[in-house]
Amino acid sequence: MRRRRLPIRDMAPTSGPGVTTPGQVAECLTLPGVTLIPMTHQDLEAFVDQEVADYADERVFDGTWSRHDAPERARAQLVRVIAWEHEALTAERQRLLTATDVNGERVGWLWVKLGPPGPWSTSAFLCQMTVPRPFRHHGYGRSMLAALEALLAGEGISDLRLNVYESNLAAKSLYAAVGYRLAEQYPTMRQLQKTLSGGLDAGVQSSDPGPVSVG
């Protein structure tokens, strides 16, 4: 699937995530529609498998490991993260979400931690987002972020942060393109922040957020 760039006058609707106003730019992207739903155990396994494959590829690419044993070494090194992701399935202040496209196909996964509960709880941390390799560069990452931001803003969260490795050019480029700003600089990674505004009117307040769609 290829994304089309349309003049803004040809686009509908005229507001909402992924839609800019005429005063901002002369054209904007048509984003593929995604819906965020709670992750199943099966989705989690697919998410972890893709995460391991990506990590193995990075280490092969930077010359650290051989292609032969990279998958095994990657899984061994990520064992703690994988355990945290399994815990997140049932943890109260965490969300594991699957993004589906308009045909119900899985096009990505998100892992988010919400800040501590209470009336001043306005922060969340995006621990991971992954688009399965065959679906990359079709706009799904951008759509998933827009849907997530809408979901969180609807719950009163205004501060979304994430860490990204300096070497991860694709992710850095994506976050910069959709308005994430430098919050902290570390030796090999940076923390980015976005202030969320607006939000959904729909009832997305419970620990089961229900489906949230964008696009």
Interaction of residue 164 with ligand COA, rule CB under 6 A: yes
CB-nearer residue toward ligand COA: 26 or 92: 26
Interaction of residue 171 with ligand COA, rule CB under 6 A: yes
Interface with ligand COA (CB under 6 A), residue from 6, 79, 169, 182:
169
- Based on C-alpha coordinates, what's the Rg of the chain? 18
Interaction of residue 182 with ligand COA, rule CB under 6 A: no
Interaction of residue 140 with ligand COA, rule CB under 6 A: yes
Interaction of residue 136 with ligand COA, rule CB under 6 A: yes
Interaction of residue 160 with ligand COA, rule CB under 6 A: no
Interaction of residue 52 with ligand COA, rule CB under 6 A: no
Q: Where are the beta strands (DSSP E) in the chain?
A: 5-7, 27-29, 34-38, 94-100, 106-114, 123-130, 159-165, 181-185, 189-195, 212-214
Q: Which residues of 60-80 are buried (b: 16+ CB within 10 A; e: fewer)?
A: beeeebeeeebbebbbeebee
Interaction of residue 59 with ligand COA, rule CB under 6 A: no
| Residue at shortest CB range from ligand COA | 141
Interaction of residue 177 with ligand COA, rule CB under 6 A: yes
Least Å from the CB of residue 109 to ligand COA: 9
Interface with ligand COA (CB under 6 A), residue from 59, 75, 86, 138:
138
* Residue count, binding to ligand COA (CB under 6 A): 21
Interaction of residue 25 with ligand COA, rule CB under 6 A: no
CB-nearer residue toward ligand COA: 162 or 204: 162
In whole angstroms, give the CA distance from residue 155 to residue 206: 9
In whole angstroms, give the CA distance from residue 36 to residue 14: 22
How many angstroms separate the first and last alpha carbons of the chain?
Answer: 15
Whose tokens are 């399965």? That residue is 132
Instruction: Return the bridge partners of 95, or none.
Output: 112
β-strands 94-100, 27-29 pairing: unpaired
Site of interaction with ligand COA (CB under 6 A): 54, 128-131, 136-142, 162, 164, 168-171, 173-174, 177
